Structure 1
Amino acid sequence: MITKFIYRTGLVMISGFPFFGQAQTLVEFDPSCVRYINQTTELDRSKYFNIHSSGNDAEHTALYQDYNVGQGRGFWGAFSAAKQQTGEVGEYPSLKTGDQSLRPVNRKIGTEHPSSAFKDGMDIEKAGDWAVNYFNYWVSDEERPEYFEVMNEPFVHAKDFYQGGWNNDENQRIKRQMAELYASVGRKMNQAPSLANMKVIGYSSAWPSMELQDFGHWNDNMQLFMDIAGEEMHAFATHLYDGVNVEGQDNKRSGSNAEAILDLIENYSYIKWDEVKPHAISEYGAIEKGYGDDYSDLASIQTVRSINHILFSLLEREDRMEISIPFITGKAQWHINEANNYQPYQAVLWKPTNIGEPNPAGWEYTPRIHFYELWKEVRGNRVWVKSNNPDIQVQAFLEGKKVFLALNNLDDQEQQIQLSNFAKVETSAVTTKRLKIYADQLPEMSEEEATTIPAALTMVAGETLVMEITLAEAPSASNTVHTKHYYSKQYLQTIVQGEAIAYSFGGVEKSADGYAYLRMSIGRKHDRSKQPVVMVNGHEVAVPDNWKGYDQANREDFFGMIEIPVPYAFLQEENEVSVTFPDSNGRISSLILQVHSFDEPQQQLVVGLKDKSKNQNGFKFYPNPTERMLSISWDKELGDDDPQVNLYSQEGFEIRAMQTKFLPQKALLDLGDLRPGLYTAYIHMGGQSAYGKVIKK
C-alpha cells in the first residue's frame, strides 16, 4: 500500500504512537537496552537459517560451514520406507523389539507425500505403532529427524482419495481421517520414552486463506485439524507463499496477511489449551509466474525478497517458533531430465554449470545464496530497536562489541529512513550489506565499509539491509524491555454495524515505562471500514490507516493484522477493550494485546527539550521536565474547539488532583500537588489527539 510516515523532532511523545500523514520513517535504537520476547533474548539461528534439504555431499557441507546454515527438511520417513518394503500403503513390516534407550535426533524435518502415508479406511492405530517402531529401530542416529511432519500438504490432496468429481462431504471425510492419522502418530510417539526427543508437527497447510467463505476455510481446515489432532502436536505447520507475477499484480501473504494467519492459530491454541503452541513454518517464500518454463536467475531471486519479508515477521515470534524453512532446495537432480529439457528446478540453491545437458559437469550457486550471504554473521542477544512505520521492519542483536542491525522495506515504494540516537553510538567500523531485488533485472548485492552509522538511509522497494556495527567498547546493559503477548478467549467475532465487540485481557504486567499495541486482525470486503472505534478501559484510541505490506486489493477479501497503538498509561492489570465498526460484514478473527515494558524509564523517549518541543500533530508540551507548570500549546489552525486534557500515572490511573486553565491555543496544567515521577499527558481537540510523556521533578 502507499504508506504514510512521520518526522519526530522532539522526543516527548510516547513511543509507539505514530501520527499519520507526514514524511519519513524514524528508527530508534539503544544497544544498551536488552530485549526479551517473553523469556527469549538470544537469536537461535537453527530456527531460521536452514535449507530445504538434508543433503550431506561436498557442496552441502561447505554451505553448512561457510554460511552457518542448518539442514531443514527432507522427503522420507516411516511410511515411505514401509511402502518401499511391502509395496502397499497401510501395510508394514514386522515390528522389531530391542533397546528402549533415549534416541538422539538431528535438527531437521522429515515429511512424506500423502500417497505414501495415507489411504481411505486405513488402520491409524497400526500406522502409529509402525511410526514408533520405525524411528526406534529402522533408522540410524544420523537419519532420525527431530521433527516428523506426517504428510506434506495433505488436505489439498484429499480429492485424490475418493472416486468421482468434487464432493465437499467426501473431501471433509478424507480430511478428518488424515487428521486422525496425525493424532494417532502423535499420540503413539508422545507415549514412547525412547522418542522423547522427537516432535510431531502438522498439518502442513498449503493454502492458508483462512478468511474465505466467511472463515469457512479456517473451520474446514486448520480448526478441524487442531480440534482432532492438535492435542498431540508439538507445533502447527503452515506454508506461507507470496505470489510474484512479473506480468501482473503480485498476490502477497508477507506483511499483514501472514501476521493475521499466525495470530489466528495462536489465539485458537490459547482458547483450547490455555497455552500458545509454537509454529513450524516448514516452507515459505514466493511462487514466481511469468518468467518462462526454463530456469532463470531472475526468476530464482524473486523468492528471496519474500523470504526476507516473512523472516522479519517470524523473528518477532521466536518464543513461539519451533523451526522455519525457507523454500530454497538443494540440487533437485530428479528434475534434470529430458521431460524438463534438462533444466534445474526453479527453487534450487545449486545449478549445473552446464544447464541443458543430461549430466551435470559441476555445480554453482544460484542467486538464492544471497539470502544466506546477507544473514550469515548475524547472532547475539536482542537489543531494543523500533520503527514507527509498519512497512519498515527492524531487528537488532548484540554480541560483545558487535551489533547486527537489520532493516527491511515491505513497501512497494522507496522509503526515506531517519536513524535516531544512532549518532550517540561510538563505533570503530560499520559494514553494511544491502540486497536489492527487482522484478525485471538481476539483483544488486553490495557490501560497504564505513566508520560511522549514517544519519539517514534510502531503501528501494523490497530492499533488505544488514549492518554489522563494531562498537568502540562493549555496552553494559542499562535497561531491559520485555515484550509480552496477552490473548483473550474471544475469536472470529462477527462484525455488526454499531455493535461493540468486547474483549478482556487479564494479568497484564506493567513496569516503569513502556508502550503497547492491539493486534487487530480482520477479514472483510474491501469496501468495508478498517478503522473502528476502539476503547481501552474507557479511553478511545486512534486506529491507523496503515499496516504491514500492501493493500491486498487483488485478494477476494482483506485479511490482515493492523497494529493499534495503546498508551501505556491506559493499561491496567485487568483490561476491557471494545471494538465498534460503523458498518457490517466480516469478522475480527483475533485481537491480541502486545505490551513492551521497560525496567527503567526509557529516557530518550521521555525527556524533551527544555524549551518548546513540537510534536507530530502540531501540539507542544513544555517545559519537560517541569517543577510545577506544564504548558500544552497548539497551532492556530487547530482552533480552540472544546479541548479535553487528561493526565495519567504510569499505572494507568487518571490524575484528578490537577488544575487546568485554558487560554487561546494553550492549556496550563498545575502539577504542583503531584509527587515527582513520570506521567502521561493527553489532549484531544477538533478531531486531533496527542500523547506526551512528562517528568514531574
Structure 2
Amino acid sequence: MNKVIAYLNMVLCIIASLALGNAAEIEVNLNFRHEVGGVDSFDRSKFITIHSDPGDNEWNHGSGSAVNFTDDLIGDFIDGYDVYFGRATGAITYWLTNEIEEDPTRPGFSSLSNVQHWGNYARNNYEANTAIHQYEAKWGRSIVAGHLFPFYPGGSNFPGDPTSSRRCGPAHAKWDFSTADTALEPWGTATGEYMARYLKYFHGGPGETGMPRPGYFTIVNEPLYWLSGLHDEPPAKVFEFFNTCAAEVRKEVPDIKIAGYTTAHPNFEVDNFQRWEERWKSFIDVSGDSMDLWCIHLYDNAGQQGKQTYRRGGNVEATFDMIEQYSQMRLGEQKSFLISEYGATAYDYEDQLWSPWKDWLGLKSLSALMMTFMDRPHLIETSIPFILIKAEWAGSPPHGRRLMRQAWEGEGETGDHWVYSELIKFYQLWSDVKGTRVDSYSTEADIQTDAYVDQNKVYVILNNLEFTDLPVNLQLVDRYGNQPQSIRLKHLYLNDTGTAPVLDDLIISSTNGLVLGSEGTMVLEYTFASPVLIDQSSIETKYYASDYLKEITSSTPLVFDINGVSHGSYGEAVLRISMGRNHGKSLKPTVLFNGSPLVVPVDWKGDMQSQKDRFFGMLEVPVPNELLQNNNTVSIEFPDDGGHVSSVTMQVFEFSAALEHADTSLIGQTIALKAKANNKYVCADNVDPVNRTLWANRTAVGGWEKFVVVDAGGGLIALKANANGKYVSSDPGLNWSLAANRTAISGLEKFTWILNSDGTVSLKANGNGQYICADRKLNSSAPPLEANRTSIGTWEKFTVEIE
C-alpha cells in the first residue's frame, strides 16, 4: 500500500506541507550551501558503489541456460543507475594460489620473473577486452584487498571455526610465505613484497597498458576477527605485519594510499572499553604513522541468536567520533576512512533460501548507514555496500547479499536465468541524486535528513531510524520565492504483510499528509521553475576535546576542554557526547557549557540497543551560538557510577546570514520554569480553579509547578500543565494571560521557544506575537504571566529545570 496517505492540490508556495499534529518538522533552506571540510556536493563515486570491479567474471553470462536477463549486464547496471566500482579481493589471491611460483633462491618469497610474466599476461588480456575500458573512469576510488589467508604468515596455525557456517581458515597456496621476523626481514616482508609486485605488474599506471591501478590498498581483510578472536595472536604483532607490508608496497608503488586495519566488528565498549584499548587504540599507536587512511566495516545485525542489534544512528556516530578524536590527539590529524564493507548481517537466516524479505533486512540498513557517512563527506574516501554480483562460489544455500538471483528463486517464477534481486531497489532509489548540498534540519532525531540542489532540481532525502511509521511536515524555504512545479516521490519501505520491500515511484501534487514508512527511505525530487540561487552558506567545522575516555563516577563532573573554536555572528553548535554504559544506567547527564546549563534531549539517534550487552551511542546537545568562546569548558555529570564518556566533540555551523532552526531538545520532557523577575517558580494556580492562570509565586517545585513540553508543529511548542492535564493558552479573553485551560492545541496554545545567550529561555505567544512576561507591574510579589512585551528583558526570562 502506498505510504503517502493523502495527496492534496499543491498551493504554489514554498511551504511544502501543512502542519500534522505531532509530525516531525523537516526544513530545507535552499539558498544556504552546506559545506564541511571544504566539501559541499554529493560525490556519487564515494557513495553509490558496488562491491565489484570491471573485470569481475560475474558480469558475464553463466553457463548453459543460466544467462543474464540482458546481454549487457554491466552497462545496464553501471550506466543505468550511475554506479561506481568499489573493491576487488579475488585476483590478488587467485594469481598467488594458482600461478605464482616461489623464488627458488629465496624460500617463502615470490619469483619476480614469474610475477612479471603473469602480470604481463593479465594486462594484455585486459587490453584485449576493450568493452570494459569505458568503465575506467568509475574505478578511480576502488580498493584492492587481500584475504587474510594465504597472506598472513603461518596461516596453517590458524584453523577456522568449525562451528561457523562461514568460509574460514587458510586458503590453499602452492607455497607458504616466509615466517621470518628479524631486523633484516621484519614480520611480513615476503607478503608485502608480493603485494607490491602484484600492484605494480598486474595493473597499469597512467599511460600504461592494463587495468588501472586502484586508488587504495587495504592489505588483508578483518584480521583480528580470526587471529585474535578465534585464536591468540597478539594484535600488536598483526599491526607490525601491516607496517611491514605498507613499507614494502610503498617501495614499488609509492602513489597508492594504504589503509587498515579493516575491522570486522568495532565494538569498542566491550569489556568496559578494553576492546578499544587492545585493538583500535593499539592500531593507531603502532601503525598510525604507516597508514594513509583508516578502514572499517560497519554492519547492522538483523538476526543472531534471536537478537537484532543495530549500529545505525548513535552507535555509528560514537564509533567514528572515538577514532577521530583519538587520531587527533595521538597523530594531530583526523585521517579519512574507507568503508570497504557495510550493510546488515542476518546469521539466523543464512541457511534459508533467498526471499524478498531477506533482501529487506539488508536494504533497510543501507541508506541509514550511508547517510551517516554522507554527514562527514570530507572524511569518507569511499563507502561500499557489501553487495556481490552473483557469488556463485558460495554454493547452496545461495549467498544472502547478491545483486542478482536466478529466476527460480522467486516465488512463482521458473528458469535458471539471472535477474535483479530486491537489492537493486537501493540503486533505483538513489539513481538521480546529485548536486550541491544545502542546509537541512529535522526536529526528530530518528529522521535522517539531507538535501542537494542541481540547477532547477532539488533532492530531499529522508530516512527513518524508527520501527514505526512517522508523519512528516516538509518545508522548503527559498528566500527569493522560486516555486516547485512538480514533485517526484521515491519511497522504499516494507509492504503491509511484512514480506517484501516496495519502491514507490510517483508524481505527486503535494507532500501534505506525508508519512515515512517504518525503517523506510524517501527521495523527493522537486523541479523548480528556474535554477535555485545558492548565495548563502553554512560552514560546518568539527572540534575535538583535548581528552577522552573518562570513567563515570556518580555526581562527579567530568571536565573536557574544546579549544581553538571559531564562530561567527550567525550560527549554532551541537555538542556530541558519546558514552558506553550498562543498561539501566542513566543516559542523561547534566551538562554545563562554559558554566551555563544546557538542555539535554531525551531522544537519541537510533534505538536504545536493548539487545546489545551494553549501550554505546552519541548524544547531541544543542549549544547556543552566544555561548561559544575561543576556548570552551564542558562539564558532564551523571547521577550514578559506571561506564565511560568515550569522546566529546562539537560541530560548529557558521551562517553567512541569520538562519534559525527549531529547538526541540525539550520535547517530551517535564520541566519547571523559574522567573528571573523574582526567582520564583511558575505555577498553574488554583486561585482560579476554572482557568488555572499561571503565576510566578512558588518557592519550590510540586505538581502544580510542572509542565510537559509538547511538539506543536511548525517548530513551535505547547505546554501541558501537570496540575490538570490541560494545555497552556495565551488567552485573549483574559487579557492575554497564560492559563492552563485548553483540552487541545490550536493557535493560542502554541509558543516559540527561545534560548537566550545567558542560558535562560523566553517564550513568544503565537496568538499575538508578544513575549511572555512575569509582570511585576501587575503584582510585584507574585507576578502573573502575560503575553504583553515586544522585546526580551529580565522579566521575560526564565530558567529551566528538567524534572
Verify same fold: TM over 0.5: yes
How far 1:78 sits from its partner (Å)? 5.0
Note the aligned Cα RMSD (angstroms).
Answer: 3.5
Q: 1:54-453, aligned counterparts within 5 Å?
A: 54-56=53-55, 57=59, 58-76=72-90, 78=92, 81-84=95-98, 85-86=100-101, 90-94=108-112, 106-120=140-154, 121-122=179-180, 123-140=187-204, 141-142=210-211, 144-158=213-227, 170-172=232-234, 175-190=235-250, 194-196=253-255, 198-245=256-303, 248-291=306-349, 292-336=351-395, 340=396, 343-355=397-409, 361-421=416-476, 426-437=483-494, 440-451=498-509, 453=510
> C-alpha distance in 1, partners of 2:738/2:598?
20
> C-alpha distance in 2, partners of 1:332/1:301?
18
Cα deviations by residue, 1:568-609 (Å, 9 ceiling, x for unpaired): 211112111111111110001111111122111127879xxx
Q: Find 1:516's aligned residue among 573, 577, 584.
A: 573
The answer on whether the counterparts of 1:435 and 1:445 sit within 8 Å (CA) in structure 2 is yes
How far 1:402 sits from its partner (Å)? 0.5
The answer on whether the counterparts of 1:90 and 1:119 sit within 8 Å (CA) in structure 2 is no
> What does residue 568 of structure 1 align with?
625
The answer on whether the counterparts of 1:660 and 1:668 sit within 8 Å (CA) in structure 2 is no
Structure 1 residue runs of 5 or longer lacking an equivalent are 1-21, 161-165, 607-612, 623-630, 638-644, 651-658, 689-697
The answer on whether the counterparts of 1:422 and 1:455 sit within 8 Å (CA) in structure 2 is no
Cα deviations by residue, 1:245-287 (Å, 9 ceiling, x for unpaired): 3994421111111111111111111111121111111111111
> What does residue 67 of structure 2 align with?
none
The answer on whether the counterparts of 1:308 and 1:464 sit within 8 Å (CA) in structure 2 is yes
> C-alpha distance in 1, partners of 2:800/2:415?
71
* % identical aligned pairs: 26
The verdict on how the C-alpha distance between 1:79 and 1:335 changes in structure 2, with shifts beyond 3 A counting, is closer
Residues paired across the two proteins, number: 611
How far 1:67 sits from its partner (Å)? 0.5
The answer on whether the counterparts of 1:335 and 1:345 sit within 8 Å (CA) in structure 2 is yes
The verdict on how the C-alpha distance between 1:106 and 1:360 changes in structure 2, with shifts beyond 3 A counting, is farther
The answer on whether the counterparts of 2:590 and 2:638 sit within 8 Å (CA) in structure 1 is yes
Q: Which has the larger radius of gyration?
A: 2
> C-alpha distance in 2, partners of 1:257/1:437?
24
> C-alpha distance in 2, partners of 1:565/1:605?
11
Cα deviations by residue, 1:75-96 (Å, 9 ceiling, x for unpaired): 1365664454136995222278
> What does residue 679 of structure 2 align with?
none
TM-score by length of 2: 0.70
> What does residue 538 of structure 1 align with?
595
Q: Find 1:462's aligned residue among 519, 539, 545.
A: 519
TM-score by length of 1: 0.80
The verdict on how the C-alpha distance between 1:81 and 1:538 changes in structure 2, with shifts beyond 3 A counting, is same
The verdict on how the C-alpha distance between 1:634 and 1:79 changes in structure 2, with shifts beyond 3 A counting, is farther
Structure 2 residue runs of 5 or longer lacking an equivalent are 1-20, 60-71, 118-135, 155-178, 181-186, 205-209, 664-713, 721-727, 742-753, 760-772, 777-782
Letter in 2 for 1:664: P
> C-alpha distance in 2, partners of 1:410/1:191?
46
Q: Find 2:784's aligned residue among 658, 661, 664.
A: 664
Letter in 2 for 1:367: E
> C-alpha distance in 1, partners of 2:593/2:758?
16
Between stretches 453-462 and 541-550, larger displacement belongs to 453-462
> C-alpha distance in 1, partners of 2:399/2:448?
31
Letter in 2 for 1:216: Q
How far 1:301 sits from its partner (Å)? 2.6
> What does residue 9 of structure 1 align with?
none
> What does residue 28 of structure 1 align with?
27
SS at match of 2:575: strand
The verdict on how the C-alpha distance between 1:132 and 1:604 changes in structure 2, with shifts beyond 3 A counting, is closer
Higher relative contact order (CA 8 A, sep 6+): 1
The verdict on how the C-alpha distance between 1:401 and 1:128 changes in structure 2, with shifts beyond 3 A counting, is same
> What does residue 684 of structure 1 align with?
799
The answer on whether the counterparts of 1:614 and 1:621 sit within 8 Å (CA) in structure 2 is no
The answer on whether the counterparts of 1:190 and 1:232 sit within 8 Å (CA) in structure 2 is no
The answer on whether the counterparts of 2:312 and 2:365 sit within 8 Å (CA) in structure 1 is yes
How far 1:142 sits from its partner (Å)? 1.1
Between stretches 81-90 and 458-467, larger displacement belongs to 81-90
The answer on whether the counterparts of 2:579 and 2:618 sit within 8 Å (CA) in structure 1 is yes
The verdict on how the C-alpha distance between 1:553 and 1:324 changes in structure 2, with shifts beyond 3 A counting, is same
The verdict on how the C-alpha distance between 1:456 and 1:480 changes in structure 2, with shifts beyond 3 A counting, is farther
2:62 is equivalent to residue 45 of structure 1: no
The answer on whether the counterparts of 1:660 and 1:670 sit within 8 Å (CA) in structure 2 is no
The answer on whether the counterparts of 2:482 and 2:530 sit within 8 Å (CA) in structure 1 is no
Letter in 1 for 2:109: E
SS at match of 2:564: coil
Cα deviations by residue, 1:318-363 (Å, 9 ceiling, x for unpaired): 1110110011111112124xxx2xx53211101123459xx98432
> C-alpha distance in 1, partners of 2:364/2:494?
7
How far 1:236 sits from its partner (Å)? 1.2
The answer on whether the counterparts of 1:29 and 1:420 sit within 8 Å (CA) in structure 2 is yes
Q: Find 1:601's aligned residue among 658, 662, 665.
A: 658
> C-alpha distance in 2, partners of 1:117/1:392?
43
Q: 1:488-527, aligned counterparts within 5 Å?
A: 488-527=545-584
SS at match of 2:80: helix
The verdict on how the C-alpha distance between 1:415 and 1:671 changes in structure 2, with shifts beyond 3 A counting, is closer
The answer on whether the counterparts of 2:441 and 2:661 sit within 8 Å (CA) in structure 1 is no
The verdict on how the C-alpha distance between 1:392 and 1:685 changes in structure 2, with shifts beyond 3 A counting, is closer
How far 1:647 sits from its partner (Å)? 5.1
> C-alpha distance in 1, partners of 2:562/2:737?
35
> C-alpha distance in 2, partners of 1:633/1:55?
71
The answer on whether the counterparts of 1:182 and 1:229 sit within 8 Å (CA) in structure 2 is yes
The verdict on how the C-alpha distance between 1:603 and 1:353 changes in structure 2, with shifts beyond 3 A counting, is closer
> C-alpha distance in 1, partners of 2:271/2:152?
28
Q: Find 1:585's aligned residue among 642, 655, 675.
A: 642
> C-alpha distance in 1, partners of 2:528/2:614?
47
The answer on whether the counterparts of 2:580 and 2:646 sit within 8 Å (CA) in structure 1 is yes
